A and B are shown apart, each in its own frame.
Chain A
Amino acid sequence: MFMTQHTPYSVARFDGAIMFNSIRAGLMKTGITKSPIVFFKVRAGAQLHPVWALDNLAMEIYAYCETAKAADVSETHLQVAVTASWVSGENFSNLFATFVEWHIASSELRKRARLISAELINRKGHDWPADELNIPVATVR
């Protein structure tokens, strides 16, 4: 009997602090449409992981980062557990977050971030940055 074997894409899980001042937000071309995208860094001990996120999760992360900036909290305030998928090409490897669990102490910050996130997702009251951002692998032909 002929069997096709498939290899699932790799998944990464890591803890750390989102360096909220490092966040960049914009739009990535996905097909003929554009999707909200963010690029940010997660500090994990001596390491700094570069991570991307798309669509609703991008807006959620952006909302938390903007709220943290406004609240003037410490650089490592946004403690998170991240689940991410690898999307790679011949010369590049990118981590795409698929789930973020927030471990922040301030309930006020959490409440404010959730509100902004919901407003962004429902396209109410907040503008999304229009800068074009593309993962490096997407530009390789």
Chain B
Amino acid sequence: MKVLIVEDDADMRRLLKIVMAGLDVDMEEAPDGESAIHSIETSQEPDLVLLDLHLPHISGEEVFDAIRKHSKSAIVIVTADILAAPEFVSKADGVFTKPFKTNELIVKLTSLLSTHRNEAKEE
């Protein structure tokens, strides 16, 4: 299983990598929207994308739309932008505002990845 972490803050990327590492997945990092979209378009489709909304050059909203257009990946928003976050409640597979509780994130990511894994088994 593959997870794409789209986050411009290196410390937050490191924290998310530590959380994800325990879930036994391959990880790819994208520090901005452009590299995230490039990755989605050119490499193996991720099962899950962790997406920050405030990114340099291309906004997280645009990256969100591009991911939805090109893949069936689950998308979890992890953002400090509390005002923008509610807009994604009905669109994303999960929305976490910083600071978040690590265990809540682990539980949600475990659930989403197992759903993807079980669906892949059935296909």
Contacts and interface: CB of A to CB of B under 8 A. Distances in A.
Contact of B115 (A28, A29, A56, A96): A56
Interface size class of B (residues with CB under 8 A): 20 to 34
Contact of B111 (A6, A8, A57): A57
B23 interface: yes
A129 interface: no
Contact of B101 (A6, A85, A96, A138): A138
Interface string A74-105: 00000000000101010000001011000000
Nearest to B114: A98
A32 B95 contact: yes
Contacts of A99: 114, 117-118
Q: Is the interface of B mostly helix, strand, loop or mixed?
A: helix
B65 interface: no
- Name the interface size band of chain A: 20 to 34
Nearest to B77: A31
Given A8-B22, A98-B114, A89 B103 contact: yes
A106 to B, nearest CB: 22
A7 interface: yes
B111 A33 contact: no
Contact of A135 (B23, B24, B96, B103): B103
A122 interface: no
Given A6-B21, A9-B22, A31 B103 contact: no
Contacts of B18: 6
Contact of B108 (A7, A35, A137): A35
Given A9-B22, A57-B114, A87 B96 contact: no
B95 A87 contact: no
6 contacts: A9-B22, A30-B105, A30-B108, A32-B89, A96-B111, A98-B110
Interface of A: 6-9, 28-33, 35, 54-57, 85, 87, 89, 96, 98-99, 135, 137-138
Interface of B: 18, 21-24, 76, 85-86, 89, 94-97, 100-101, 103-108, 110-112, 114-115, 117-118
Report, nearest first, the 4 A-B pairs whose CB atoms are least far apart: A31-B96, A6-B21, A98-B114, A9-B22
